[in-house]
């Protein structure tokens, strides 16, 4: 007897391979991982200087998993952002993913986050300069 999984794998693998043949390997791996990882969050916006996102359900995270972003307005008009991410794996995949993100992935994610902040600052700086003239 052929299972639905085996049948879909046999039929879709060549289609997916052909469609993703031009993708960079890293992007393809991240896309594959994204299919396997999902998360449902509860947002707490009650404090205007802090946002807390608590995981209520997830394929890999459980326990006290959450994200807390604290905003501190500075006298020069900028904002300091402090991000605290807590991840507790609820299964083997969550444990491995948590370990990788906490060690190797931490540098990559910090760099990506810093680049995002720089891009926002550059865009806002350009908007301020354009509006001032």
For 42, counting Cβ atoms within 10 Å of its Cβ (0-12 exposed, 13-18 middle, 19+ buried), the class is exposed
How many domains does the structure of the chain reveal? 2
Task: Measure Cα distances from 124 to 12, 72, 77, 115 in Å.
Answer: 44, 18, 12, 14
Judge if 3 and 48 occupy the same domain: no
Task: Measure Cα distances from 63 to 15, 54, 57, 100, 101 in Å.
Answer: 38, 10, 10, 18, 17
Residues linked to residue 86 through DSSP beta bridges, in sequence order: 66
Instruction: Note the pLDDT of residue 133.
Output: 44
Q: Which residue has the higher pLDDT, 132 or 21?
A: 21
What is the residue range of 126's domain?
40-132
DSSP state of 91: S
DSSP state of 77: S
Rounded-to-integer distance, Cα 51 and Cα 97, Å:
24
Judge if 62 and 114 occupy the same domain: yes
pTM exceeding 0.85: no
Judge if 32 and 54 occupy the same domain: no
Judge if 18 and 30 occupy the same domain: yes
What pLDDT digit, counting tens, does each position of 70-109 carry? Answer: 999 989 888 888 889 888 999 888 888 888 878 877 888 8
């Amino acid at each position: 007897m052929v299972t639905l999984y085996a049948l879909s794998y046999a039929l879709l693998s060549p289609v997916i391979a052909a469609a993703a043949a031009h993708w960079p390997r890293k992007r393809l791996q991240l896309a594959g991982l994204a299919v396997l990882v999902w998360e449902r969050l509860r947002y707490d916006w009650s404090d205007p200087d802090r946002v807390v996102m608590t995981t209520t359900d997830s394929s890999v995270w459980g326990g006290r998993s959450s994200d807390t972003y604290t905003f501190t307005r500075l006298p020069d008009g900028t904002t300091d952002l402090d991000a605290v991410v807590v991840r507790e794996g609820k299964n083997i995949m969550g444990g491995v993913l948590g370990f990788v993100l906490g060690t190797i992935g931490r540098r990559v994610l910090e760099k990506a986050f810093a680049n995002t902040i720089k891009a926002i600052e550059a865009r806002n700086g350009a908007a301020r300069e354009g509006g001032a003239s």
